[in-house]
Amino acid sequence: MQGALPEFANIMQYMTEDADQWAEWIASEQPQFAPLPKVPVPPKKVKVEPKEGEEEGKEEEVVVGDGYLNNFQKLILIKVLREEKVTMAASMYVGASLGQEFTEPRPWNLQEVRRDRQTPSYAPR
């Protein structure tokens, strides 16, 4: 994980330095609700719009977000460290990112179900 995702480059160092906080988070009954111990994220190189008179294609290192792991990266950590909690954490992530309507079952009624069953779902040859 450390080599594939730059945000996790120093994760083992931070876990070692704050072992008590990490152990508490990992052992918590619902880590998806618990705040994640702070893991600073390295700056990313991004292309910056050139100002007048500057050359194009200039890159700058900037800190994206609040400088710490975001909710998706927290989901990755839950997948790696507490896999049994990933379903609930993924549902929370989708609800926060796309909206709760994407995590709840659609309401239905018997009339719609009956109408759908009468419509063939394939065309005969």
CA distances from 85 to 33, 104, 105 (A): 11, 18, 20
User: Domains in the chain: how many in total?
Assistant: 1
Please report whether residue 125 resides in a domain. no
Please report whether residue 99 resides in a domain. yes
Q: What's the predicted TM-score (pTM) here?
A: 0.67
Please report whether residue 61 resides in a domain. yes
Give the tokens for residue 37: 């111990």
* Tens-place pLDDT, residues 27-57: 999 999 998 888 887 766 666 676 776 666 6
* Tens-place pLDDT, residues 52-111: 766 666 666 665 556 688 889 999 999 999 999 999 999 999 999 999 888 888 887 788
**Sorting pLDDT into bands at 50, 70 and 90, what band is 122?**
low
Please report whether residue 85 resides in a domain. yes
Please report whether residue 49 resides in a domain. yes
Please report whether residue 89 resides in a domain. yes
Which domain range does residue 63 map to?
Answer: 6-118
Please report whether residue 34 resides in a domain. yes
Please report whether residue 124 resides in a domain. no
